[in-house]
């Protein structure tokens, strides 16, 4: 137990130490200040701007920024879908894989363009190398950069600046943040034992019988793996994702992947502090999110370290829950990875979430419901400050003061957008399709588990899609032929689209409105938001709103399952 907690503490200390360094660098990038990469990247970026006809000094309104995202994402989706439909005759297909079904292609395309990477297929037996690295891998960069652009545009709007230009933010996010870190990370992962090759599967004799051969899938995995984590993508090159020894072979790669997942979303909070010229508030917010994160990690770890009481009774001793886990990681690193991947909306897995104890299932679902611990790439930070706006409004009502944030009044439009964003959109795309799936288990969804755990499996699928996370609780027939596979592909696609683009539009409109407000001078009656008291109120608002919205589902799922197991 102690060793596992020490591992968790050291990993957390590493990314906390990285946050101000990376956060400060990102602030310089998006404020277009001088960085050490300027001599190399300035000429490249100028060429890209010229080729694309991008007017770098032309700021966009909220609607213009949103339209640019929608148009660019649509065009990229069509190109990537083309590769998938035609992978049978395109190059870099050593095993001769044909095109998947149209609904699998539709779901996969939507999933990857929305930075979700929810997979209803097995990568090594479904997609060619070209589809993986030129199609899905390309979208891992662009979808992550899109999310970063939204987060930065939101921060600019909150701090009274124009939102900026989406195409400039997209390019700079890739060239100055995602790509340089990915190159370094790829080299380290290759050195640590992850393959990076275009050669076909390796054929070797089996251990049981040397006369029988086995094909071992390999491929260009290392570069796919680092952007999978860094960009909060989560989609695995292989079916079992980061539990596969070629994606995550040892403790070093596991550490790199966890730190990569949380590095950018945690650093963005510090980036906000630089933009707002209020690092004190940034650190208070950072501390609040870190506290919730560590609480969730500990809850998950306790559940896994204490094990399953039914199994413990059979063994006659207390044993950790190692079902569905890789022994090389154990319960501690599995709990830390699972909490991090659902908190950051990454979705990569190094253990089977379906096998976690009810306490772990409660935490993983709660992360997907809240979306701010640490939240998705860019959008998580924006969600966090939407909660902050609601906290300002609620606190202003309680103390009888005009709600203000960063010297700008919080009025009806901001409250409506923030409330719609947090209280309506997310639940709609989780609870409604979840109810339909459970109402027709035989005709549509093929649910095999009718109990408390089965409810968690269904809700998790849609929560993962709507939160743009992509991990799965499994136990669903989402990769089966129609009608069950078709149902999951189409219904999840609706949650993917609605959970991504409606919130993005709301966030940009909210930021646009804030950027146009005239700042109000601070007086003795101004409600300060950079205090420990207000930060505590914000944490309460976050947890209360999340509990009010989703507590019935949690009560009928993991909580009821826990009572059933521990009674």
pLDDT in tens, 147-166: 999 999 999 999 989 999 99
Q: What is the mean pLDDT of residues 199-219?
A: 87
Contact 281, 288 (CB under 8 A): no
What are the phi and psi torsion angles at 325 (to 5°)?
Answer: -120, 150
Average pLDDT, the chain: 89
Q: Is the pLDDT of residue 173 over 70?
A: yes
Query: Residue 549's pLDDT band (boundaries 50, 70, 90)?
Result: confident
Q: What are 214's strand-pairing partners?
A: 204
Residue with tokens 């560590």: 294
Q: What is residue 378's predicted lDDT score, i.e. its pLDDT?
A: 86
Query: Residue 453's pLDDT band (boundaries 50, 70, 90)?
Result: confident
Query: Residue 445's pLDDT band (boundaries 50, 70, 90)?
Result: low
Q: What is residue 47's predicted lDDT score, i.e. its pLDDT?
A: 93
Query: CA geometry: angle at 89 spanning 85 and 93, to 5°?
Result: 95
* Sign of the torsion angle spanned by Cα atoms 381, 387, 393, 398: negative
Q: Is the pLDDT of residue 18 over 70?
A: yes
Q: What is the mean pLDDT of residues 285-305?
A: 94
Q: What is residue 253's predicted lDDT score, i.e. its pLDDT?
A: 95
Q: How far apart are CA 18 and CA 32, in angstroms?
A: 21
Query: Residue 441's pLDDT band (boundaries 50, 70, 90)?
Result: confident
Report the percent of the chain where pLDDT is more than 90.
Answer: 60
Q: What are 220's strand-pairing partners?
A: 196
pLDDT in tens, 234-253: 889 998 999 999 999 999 99
For residue 10, count other CB atoms closer than 10 A to its CB.
Answer: 10
Q: What are 349's strand-pairing partners?
A: none
Q: What is residue 191's predicted lDDT score, i.e. its pLDDT?
A: 95
Q: Is the pLDDT of residue 381 over 90?
A: no
Q: Is the pLDDT of residue 484 over 90?
A: no
Least confident of 43-47, 115-119, 369-373, 419-423: 419-423
Element (H, E) at 268: helix 251-276
Q: What is the mean pLDDT of residues 377-405?
A: 82
Between 4 and 377, the more confident residue is 377
Does this model's pTM top 0.75?
A: yes
Q: What are 351's strand-pairing partners?
A: 325
Contact 128, 93 (CB under 8 A): yes
522-548 per-residue burial string, b: 16 or more CB within 10 A, e: under 16? eeeeebebbeeebbebbbebbeebbee
For 438, the token pair is: 């459970």
Q: CB-based contacts of 155: which residues, under 8 Å, 6+ apart?
A: 268, 271, 272, 275, 276, 381, 382, 385, 511
Task: Give Cα 62 to chain centroid, integer Å.
Answer: 23
Q: How far apart are CA 340 and CA 502, in angstroms?
A: 25
Give CA separation, 144 vs 73, 151, 159, 227, 383, in Å. Answer: 12, 11, 23, 9, 16
- Find, among 336, 255, 264, the residue nearest to 19 by Cα: 264
Element (H, E) at 203: strand 202-205
Q: Which of helix, strand or coil describes residue 504?
A: helix
Q: Is the pLDDT of residue 547 over 80?
A: no
For residue 393, count other CB atoms closer than 10 A to its CB.
Answer: 20
Instruction: Name the residue ranges covered by the structural domains of the chain.
Output: 2-203+215-566
Query: Residue 443's pLDDT band (boundaries 50, 70, 90)?
Result: low
**Angle between the 412-419 and 379-399 helix axes, to the nearest 10 degrees?**
130
Contact 289, 269 (CB under 8 A): yes
Contact 398, 540 (CB under 8 A): no
Q: What is residue 497's predicted lDDT score, i.e. its pLDDT?
A: 95
What helix, strand, coil percent values describe the chain, rounded to 5? Answer: 65, 5, 30
Q: What are 404's strand-pairing partners?
A: 409
């Amino acid at each position: 137990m102690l060793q596992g907690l020490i591992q968790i503490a050291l990993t957390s200390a590493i990314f906390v130490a990285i946050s101000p360094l990376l956060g400060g660098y990102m602030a310089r990038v998006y404020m277009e200040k001088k960085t050490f990469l300027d001599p190399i990247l300035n000429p490249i970026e100028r060429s890209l701007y010229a080729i694309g006809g991008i007017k770098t000094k032309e700021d966009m309104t909220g609607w213009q920024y949103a339209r640019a995202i929608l148009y660019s994402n649509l065009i990229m989706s069509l190109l990537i879908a083309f590769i998938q439909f035609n992978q049978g005759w395109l190059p870099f297909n050593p095993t001769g894989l044909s095109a998947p079904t149209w609904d699998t292609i539709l779901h996969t395309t939507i999933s990857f363009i929305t930075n979700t990477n929810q997979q209803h297929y097995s990568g090594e037996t479904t997609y060619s190398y070209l589809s993986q690295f030129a199609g899905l891998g390309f979208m891992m960069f662009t979808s992550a950069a899109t999310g970063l652009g939204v987060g930065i545009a939101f921060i600019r709007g909150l701090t009274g600046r124009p939102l900026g230009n989406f195409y400039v933010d997209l390019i700079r996010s890739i060239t100055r943040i995602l790509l340089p870190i990915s190159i370094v990370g790829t080299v380290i992962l290759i050195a640590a034992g992850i393959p990076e090759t275009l050669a076909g599967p390796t054929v070797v004799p089996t251990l049981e019988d040397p006369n029988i051969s086995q094909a071992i899938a390999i491929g260009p995995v290392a570069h796919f793996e680092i952007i999978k984590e860094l960009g909060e993508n989560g989609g695995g090159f292989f079916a079992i994702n980061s539990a596969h020894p070629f994606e995550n072979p040892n403790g070093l790669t596991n550490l790199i992947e966890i730190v990569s997942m949380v590095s950018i979303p945690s650093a963005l909070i510090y980036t906000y502090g630089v933009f707002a010229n209020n690092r004190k508030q940034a650190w208070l917010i950072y501390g609040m999110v870190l506290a919730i994160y560590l609480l969730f990690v500990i809850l998950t770890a306790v559940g896994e370290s204490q094990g399953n009481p039914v199994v413990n009774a059979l063994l006659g001793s207390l044993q950790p829950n190692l079902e569905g886990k890789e022994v090389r990681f154990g319960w501690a690193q599995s709990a830390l990875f699972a909490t991090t991947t659902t908190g950051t909306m990454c979705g990569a897995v190094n253990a089977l979430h379906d096998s976690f104890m009810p306490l772990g299932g409660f935490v993983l679902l709660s992360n997907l419901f809240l979306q701010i611990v640490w939240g998705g790439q860019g959008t998580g930070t924006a969600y966090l400050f939407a909660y902050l706006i609601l906290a300002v409004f609620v606190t202003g009502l309680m103390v009888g003061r005009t709600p203000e944030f960063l010297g700008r009044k919080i009025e009806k439009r901001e409250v409506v957008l923030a409330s719609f964003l947090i209280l309506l959109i997310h639940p709609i795309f989780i609870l409604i399709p979840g109810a339909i799936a459970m109402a027709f288990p035989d005709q549509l969804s093929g649910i095999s588990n009718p109990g408390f755990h089965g409810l968690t499996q269904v809700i998790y699928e849609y929560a993962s899609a709507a939160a743009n996370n992509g991990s799965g609780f499994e136990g669903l027939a989402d990769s089966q032929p129609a009608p069950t596979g078709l149902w999951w592909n189409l219904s999840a696609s609706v949650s993917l689209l609605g959970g991504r683009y409606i919130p993005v539009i709301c966030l940009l409109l909210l930021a646009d409105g804030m950027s146009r407000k005239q700042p109000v001078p601070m007086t003795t009656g101004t409600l300060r938001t950079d205090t420990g008291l207000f930060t505590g109120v914000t944490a309460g608002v976050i947890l209360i709103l999340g509990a009010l919205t989703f507590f019935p589902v949690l009560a009928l799922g993991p909580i009821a399952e826990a009572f059933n197991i521990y009674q």
